Amino acid sequence: MAHCDVCGNDYDKAFQVTSDGRTMTFDSFECAIHAMAPRCAHCDCRIIGHGVEEAGAIYCCANCAAHEGSTALRDRA
């Protein structure tokens, strides 16, 4: 069995995620999100959806981007 890189749980249904050349092993999506999801440049929440990007920064939503000075980004509604 494989050990989760976040919580250390030894789990028979563990899975691996590879991103930017880094591979990690997890026992749950919760641990994968904790370890690998980017953080909003404004509110610091984990971005588990698409998010929005501008000038190299990623935000959870256009509202957070606007707080950082963006005028071009819009959420899709």
Query: Residue 36 carries which side chain, given as an amino acid letter?
Result: M
Does residue 8 have a pLDDT over 90? yes
Structure tokens at 39: 């953080």
Looking at the fold, whether 7 and 31 belong to one and the same domain comes out as yes
Beta carbons of 57 and 41 less than 8 angstroms apart: yes
Instruction: Tally Cβ neighbours within 10 Å of residue 57.
Output: 16
> If you average pLDDT over residues 57-76, what whole number do you get?
88
Looking at the fold, whether 32 and 42 belong to one and the same domain comes out as no
Full-model pTM: 0.79
Tell me what the pLDDT averaged over the chain comes to.
Answer: 93
Structure tokens at 1: 């069995």
Looking at the fold, whether 31 and 55 belong to one and the same domain comes out as no
Looking at the fold, whether 14 and 49 belong to one and the same domain comes out as no
- What is the total count of domains within the chain? 2
Q: Which domain holds residue 66?
A: 38-77
Band (1; pLDDT cuts 50, 70, 90) = confident
pLDDT at 77: 59
Looking at the fold, whether 42 and 30 belong to one and the same domain comes out as no
Residue 38 CB partners (closer than 8 Å, separation 6+): 46, 47, 51, 58
